[in-house]
Every structure is written in C-alpha cells, then in structure tokens.
Amino acid sequence: MEENLRRLTDEVGGRVTGSPEMARAVEWGVAAFRAAGVDVHTEKYTLPVTWSEEQTKLTIVEPFGPAHERITDGKIALMVKTTSLQVASEGWGPPTKPGGLVATVVDVGYGSEEDFAKAGSMKGAIVLVHSDIGTSWADLFNEYLRPPGIIERAVKNGAAAILWMGARERRLLYRHTNSLNGEIDKIPQAVVAREDAMRLARTVSAYPGRVRVWLDMPNKIGGPIEQENVVGEIRGYDKPDETVVLGAHLDSWELGTGALDNGCNAALVIEAARAIKATGLVPHRTIRFVLFSGEEQGTIGSYEYVKAHRAELDKMRAMITYDSGIGRVTGYSLGGRRDTEAGLREVLKALESWGANNHTYDASFGTDNFDFLLEGVPTLVANQEEANYLPNYHAASDTLDKVDIRELKLHAALAALTAWGIADRTEPLGKRLSRAELDILVKETGLDQQLKLLGYWDAWQSGARGRKP
C-alpha cells in the first residue's frame, strides 16, 4: 500500500479529472488491482468540460503600484514585484478576458446580504471576500455552503470577479471549486493567499475606492471528454447479484499531490481488496472496489456510476467510503439512518477495542456516497478526526509526507472488515429506502437545506438526481 501510494502521489502527482495525469492515475489503479490478484475493469462516462490553470497573476496597480497606463502599453515587465500577490484560480472558474482585468477592489467583508448593501456600488469591480481560518469539519462545510449566495450577490450587483481570502495560513495556496455540477462557473474567482488578502483589505481600507488591481487568469477550458471510474470486483459465491461497494475518489486537485485528499484512501481501497483476496475466502455477496473520478467537480464520477447501475440498486446492500485523510476513524456516518446501525455494530465487533464502532446518523453532501444515499442505498462514510487534514486541504502542502502510514494500515483493515462483514452476513444490512422515506430523511437531517443552498434541489425534486418520485 505504501509503495502504491508513493507511485500515485510522487510519480503521477496531482490529478485533475480530465487531465493527462488523471488518465495515468486510472492506469495506476488498474495495475494495482491486477497486482493484488483482483478482477478489474473501467467504466466510462462523459465529463462535460475540462479545465486547467495557466499563469494566474494578481497585482496591485493603484494607488501605489505601477500605473494602469503601463499595463495597457503592454509594459507588464515594469510591474513592481512587491505588489504581486499569491493567488490561485478557482477550479472550473472562467478565464478573465485576454490580457486580464484591471478593476477597483471592493471589500464586501464576509459577503452577507448586509455586507453587500453596505459596500455600495460594485459594477465592474473585483470584490474581496473575507474568511476565517478553517480548523473544524464545520468550517470546511461552510467553505462550500457560503459561496453560492455570495456569488449570486456579486453577479447580481455587476461585479466582474471575486477574490476569496485564503482560509489557510502562511501564504499557502489551495484550490476550491464553487461549481458543483461540472460546468464552468458564472464569474472569474481566485483564492488569494491569506496574508496577501489581508494586506489587500488593509490597502482598500486606507484608500477607499482607489485601489485597483490587475487580475490575469487565462484558464484553459476544453472538453467534453471521456473519463473512467476504476472497478475492482470480488464476486460473491451464492448471491453474486447482491453488492457492497467500497469506494474512494482517485482524482485530486493539483497544487499538491492529493495524498490526504484522497490518494491515501484510494490506496486503502486497493489494499482492502488485496487483503480480502489474500485470505482465499469468498463472501456470499459481491464486493466492488470503486475508485471514482470527478469527485472534486461535484461527485460526478459516482453520480455517473449510480446512473449506470440504477437497475441494480435494489440489491445494493451498502456503499462505504473514506474521504477524510488519515485522522483516526471513530465510526461511520450512516446517512440519516438508524436501521443500519445494529448490523454494522455486529460486523465491527471484532475490532471493538479500536474505538471505531461509534456511529452518527447525519446526512450530508460532499463525497461519493451522496448519490447512493439519495437513491435509498445504505451508505457509510468514515467519520475521522481532523488530524492534519484541514491545514493541508486542497493545498500545495497535501503531499505524501503528511500521510500517517500506520493509521492508514489500521483503516485498511477496518474498511476490509466493514465491506467483508456486510457482504458475508446472512441478512442485508438494511433495505433500500422508498422515495417517501427519503423525503422524510432529507427533511429530518437538514439535507434539504444543503440541497437548496448548493443548487441540487430542483434535480432532487424532479428525480434527475436521486430516487425518482
């Protein structure tokens, strides 16, 4: 597992869905399953758009940087280096117009309705949005739940672009996307290194209405393109049409090498398959080990997997996924259900002393169980301690040296036992929920609010996403 992970992170590197690196990662996954003696194939789907960042630049040009005229003269080389700020484009964000954009910066604080009203006119301006340092899972969820409303307000007020203050310290850059359906976002956006964004905010406050920046973000857009999920399989001996999925996403952002998110857990899924295969035992039901792509663009790969396998979902007994780095596993999030807990506790009894048998009943968006959950399949998402996940989240520092291999080995054993136990027990872990039951679950867990905030509500209501009404 350690060597597999080294190859994926250090040799393949960051792997954005649709990129050549992603194709190499798929080859890595296929080869690793084969080496483990596990049957493997890939399943294709179409990614609507590809995206890549080129040279993103942000420079203060007024009131104390180089004059605006110098830029329009094409004398960009005259730029004073010290007014250049560290910046990364938002994933799946549109490019700025050729040559970039020179505009006034308007500070909109944390971007609430009130903040926008206070900020005044911002037509053609670049808005700067503040953030706090993320230290908890709740903070991380807010990094996704806050932007849709802010983007809407910025667009409504005629802003030309958005600068997000980084939520990680020490000028660390990271990549976000606020586009959760694989389409290019409405307006150019970039994350500005936290200290640089604070400097910009202070400058705006010292020279209200007079600070102009040059934002050049020549992002490359392409596609559509065919992408793949990698599927390893151990076939059940007497109930082969009943399945348990153990999955993790293989894709990542590319400022770092996607070690915590989510290379370590892609390697874990392969290791769990290898370990089960190596026992020589065969479970009653089929276990599928799936490495999804497109997760970072809005769980597109797992959505496509669910769509392609809709006919089998009545007999899918569980979907298990790991997507939170290497923090100690405390149990599973059961996706708004209590009916699956007793069976799961029994499955994990052998590892009771690990303290990983304490489950929660929450349901949320954010990783590959999402569409399985909305289809009524029992889902289990590993609940993990934060450990070093948040300071390195989607950042240049998400590299192999952050991975605690000992912890990862324990998790591989836990994941293997979970998948094996559910696949091999006499009774199904839980039934597939009906649409009526899901409507109640979505409401009771507050998932309805998330679906509305993130723009999934109409698709859920119509049955385009999730179990048909």
Q: What are phi and psi of 355, to 5 degrees?
A: 70, 30
Decide whether 261 or 375 has the Cβ nearer to Zn ion.
261
Contacts of 211 (CB under 8 A, 6+ apart): 60, 62, 63, 104, 105, 200, 203, 204
Where do runs of H (alpha helix) occur along 174-293?
A: 194-206, 264-279
Rounded to 10 deg, the angle between the 264-279 and 405-424 helix axes is: 50
CB of 434 to Zn ion, least distance (A): 30
The dihedral sign for the CA sequence 441, 292, 400, 166: negative
Decide whether 29 or 66 has the Cβ nearer to Zn ion.
29
CB of 432 to Zn ion, least distance (A): 26
Contacts of 389 (CB under 8 A, 6+ apart): 260, 261, 324, 325, 326, 327
> Strands 101-107 and 126-129: what pairing?
parallel
Joined tokens for residue 398: 């998400």
Instruction: List interacting residues with Zn ion (CB under 5 A).
Output: 261-262, 323
Distance CA 24, CA 28 (A): 6
Decide whether 262 or 364 has the Cβ nearer to Zn ion.
262
CB of 20 to Zn ion, least distance (A): 21
Decide whether 157 or 384 has the Cβ nearer to Zn ion.
384
Decide whether 65 or 182 has the Cβ nearer to Zn ion.
182
CB of 249 to Zn ion, least distance (A): 6
CB of 408 to Zn ion, least distance (A): 15
Question: DSSP class of residue 261?
Answer: I
Contact 205, 197 (CB under 8 A): no
CB of 121 to Zn ion, least distance (A): 39
Distance CA 235, CA 244 (A): 10
Angstrom CA distances, 148 to 112, 123, 423, stand at 11, 19, 39
Decide whether 13 or 283 has the Cβ nearer to Zn ion.
13
Decide whether 264 or 416 has the Cβ nearer to Zn ion.
264
Decide whether 189 or 262 has the Cβ nearer to Zn ion.
262
- CB-facing half-sphere around the CA of 185: CA atoms within 13 A: 30
Distance CA 370, CA 442 (A): 12
Decide whether 62 or 295 has the Cβ nearer to Zn ion.
295
The dihedral sign for the CA sequence 347, 348, 352, 355: negative
Decide whether 129 or 320 has the Cβ nearer to Zn ion.
320
CB of 237 to Zn ion, least distance (A): 33
Residue 3, exposed/middle/buried by CB under 10 A (0-12, 13-18, 19+)? Answer: exposed
> Strands 84-85 and 212-216: what pairing?
unpaired
CB of 325 to Zn ion, least distance (A): 9
Question: DSSP class of residue 320?
Answer: E
Angstrom CA distances, 445 to 316, 333, 335, stand at 22, 12, 9
Contacts of 412 (CB under 8 A, 6+ apart): 1, 268, 271, 272, 275
CB of 103 to Zn ion, least distance (A): 33
CA 416 to chain centre: 23
CB of 247 to Zn ion, least distance (A): 12
